[in-house]
């Protein structure tokens, strides 16, 4: 076989790359994500598969930064791009510039993913949510200054209770940068710090229009607020991440105004009713205490009379006792007892002295008998070696010519040793 055209591996790979990229340069492909990997560079790599085949996908950082959801394994998506060949390994792959989920919108997926994340972190816990003050004096409103929502809220608040102090912090409520403005406004109101409650919201719109209230930066600003917050976004059927984090969710901005401020005339009626009930209650208590005081007065008088009779009877009994009739008898009785005690003390002390003298005599006898000089009276003597003057207990310690001293009961002698055994 004649070898007329021989390619290197690189040459043939490049030819294939050119053919594929020029032929398949505008593709839409549907499949399921698997082996998803987000590289530290920001590039995304995964395989797209169906029930029979797989194809590699590269989604570079410059394009994937605009994704509105987080891709993950098992998610069905549609990607747009072109076929390319990775020359180093010879693998063909899709270079993606656009990706959308199949069946559910990207924003909805992003909403559910953030909702699940914040729920796990505890931002939605009911236990941390605070009660909205019943009668707020100063209300902060964070919304668009030109929308219908602010006009509705101001009209309702003025109609219901015109004395409330309202401060508006104007922000954009949709579009790029709106979420940052809303979050900054919440922090600003907290820095001022003298608000009883904040209302954060806007009127209705599409999911895209309301998206600023689904951003994580807004959710965390609401969570960190020291002032209770009412979320009032969209219509009654609309739910945003802000609704779940806020201390109270109002279905609409108008409903938020009604929830935060009570009707002044209703409050006045309640106060009148309360005043009437208070007077009635005070009158009942007055009658009750009046009746009880009368009863207590009667019981106190009866008790005092009873106590007086008891002490009167005791006094009469004491007056009849011998102490009052013959008071000197008790003194004479105590004198006699004192004489008896004095005699007993003298006898006891004398007996104690005699007993101690006997004990002393016994001890003196024992000491006398133990005196070594007493032994010498019976014919014994004590020999000491000179000049050390040590008592000799064994003759072997003496040598001829050693000087000794012998003590008798009466007197002593000195001598020298002639011999020892």
Helix (H) or strand (E) holding 276: helix 264-320
User: Domains along the chain?
Assistant: 9-103 (2.40.50.140), 110-262 (3.40.50.261), 371-421 (no CATH)
Number of Cα atoms under 13 Å in the Cβ half of residue 67: 25
Neighbours of 382 (CB within 10 A): 15
For residue 29, what pLDDT is reported? 87
Higher pLDDT, 35 or 298: 35
Are 195 and 167 in contact by the 8 Å Cβ rule? The answer is: yes
Query: Reduced to 3 states, what is the DSSP secondary structure of residue 319?
Result: helix
Question: For residue 271, is pLDDT > 80?
Answer: no
Residue 59 CB partners (closer than 8 Å, separation 6+): 43, 44, 45, 46, 79, 96, 99
Distance CA 271, CA 265 (A): 10
Question: For residue 265, is pLDDT > 70?
Answer: no
Distances (CA, A) of 324 to 16, 80, 199, 237, 316: 139, 124, 90, 99, 11
Weakest mean pLDDT among 128-132, 203-207, 320-324, 336-340: 320-324
Average pLDDT, the chain: 85
Q: What is the largest CA-CA distance in the chain?
A: 162
Are 203 and 153 in contact by the 8 Å Cβ rule? The answer is: no
For residue 188, what pLDDT is reported? 95
Distance CA 126, CA 250 (A): 16
Distance CA 250, CA 231 (A): 6
For residue 1, what pLDDT is reported? 55
For residue 3, what pLDDT is reported? 64
**Model confidence pLDDT, tens digit, residues 323-345:** 666 666 667 777 778 888 888 88
Residue 261 CB partners (closer than 8 Å, separation 6+): 136, 139, 156, 157, 160, 161, 164
- DSSP assigned state of 381: -
Are 20 and 85 in contact by the 8 Å Cβ rule? The answer is: yes
Question: For residue 283, is pLDDT > 80?
Answer: no
The pair of structure tokens assigned to 314 is 């005791």
For residue 174, what pLDDT is reported? 92
For residue 329, what pLDDT is reported? 66
Distance CA 147, CA 141 (A): 13
Q: How far is CA 324 from the centre of its chain?
A: 74
Question: For residue 186, is pLDDT > 90?
Answer: yes
Q: Which residues of 66-98 are buried (b: 16+ CB within 10 A; e: fewer)?
A: ebbbebeeebebebebbbbbeeeeeebbbbbee
Alpha helices in 371-402 (DSSP H): 372-376
Question: For residue 108, is pLDDT > 90?
Answer: no
Are 208 and 149 in contact by the 8 Å Cβ rule? The answer is: no
**Model confidence pLDDT, tens digit, residues 8-53:** 888 888 888 888 877 888 888 888 999 999 999 999 999 999 888 9
């Amino acid at each position: 076989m004649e070898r007329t055209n021989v390619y290197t591996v690189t040459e043939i790979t490049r030819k294939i790359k050119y053919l594929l990229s020029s032929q398949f340069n505008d593709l839409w492909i549907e499949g399921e994500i698997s082996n998803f990997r987000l590289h530290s560079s920001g590039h995304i790599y995964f395989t797209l598969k169906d029930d029979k085949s797989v194809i590699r996908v590269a989604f570079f950082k410059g394009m994937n930064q605009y994704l509105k959801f987080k891709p993950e394994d098992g998610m069905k998506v549609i990607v747009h791009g072109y076929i390319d060949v990775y020359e180093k390994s010879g693998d063909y792959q899709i270079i993606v510039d656009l990706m959308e989920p199949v069946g559910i919108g990207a924003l909805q997926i992003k909403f559910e993913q953030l909702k699940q994340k914040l729920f796990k972190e505890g931002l939605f816990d009911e236990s941390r949510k605070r009660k909205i003050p019943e009668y707020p004096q100063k209300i902060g409103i964070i919304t668009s200054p030109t929308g219908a929502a602010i006009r509705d809220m101001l009209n309702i608040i003025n109609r219901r209770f015109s004395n409330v102090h309202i401060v508006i912090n104007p922000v954009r409520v949709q579009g790029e940068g709106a979420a940052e403005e809303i979050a900054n406004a919440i922090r600003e109101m907290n820095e001022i710090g003298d608000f009883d409650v904040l209302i954060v919201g806007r009127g209705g719109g599409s999911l895209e229009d309301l998206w600023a209230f689904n951003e994580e930066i807004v959710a965390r600003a609401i969570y960190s607020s020291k002032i209770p917050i009412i979320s009032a976004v969209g219509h009654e059927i609309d739910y945003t991440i802000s609704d779940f984090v806020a201390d109270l969710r109002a279905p609409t901005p108008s409903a938020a105004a009604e929830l935060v401020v009570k009707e002044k005339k209703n409050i006045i009626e309640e106060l009148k009713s309360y005043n009437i009930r208070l007077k009635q209650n005070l009158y009942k208590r007055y009658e009750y205490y009046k009746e009880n005081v009368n009863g207590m007065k009667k019981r106190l008088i009866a008790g005092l009379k009873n106590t007086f009779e008891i002490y009167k009877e005791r006094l009469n009994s004491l007056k009849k006792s011998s102490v009052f009739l013959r008071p000197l008898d008790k003194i004479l009785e105590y004198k006699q007892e004192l004489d008896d005690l004095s005699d007993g003390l003298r006898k006891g002390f004398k007996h104690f002295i005699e007993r101690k003298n006997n004990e002393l005599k016994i001890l003196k006898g024992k000491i006398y008998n133990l005196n070594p000089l007493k032994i010498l009276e019976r014919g014994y003597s004590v020999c000491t070696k000179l000049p050390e003057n040590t008592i000799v207990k064994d003759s072997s310690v003496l040598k001829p010519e050693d000087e000794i001293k012998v003590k008798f009961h009466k007197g002593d002698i000195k001598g020298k040793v002639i011999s020892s055994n």
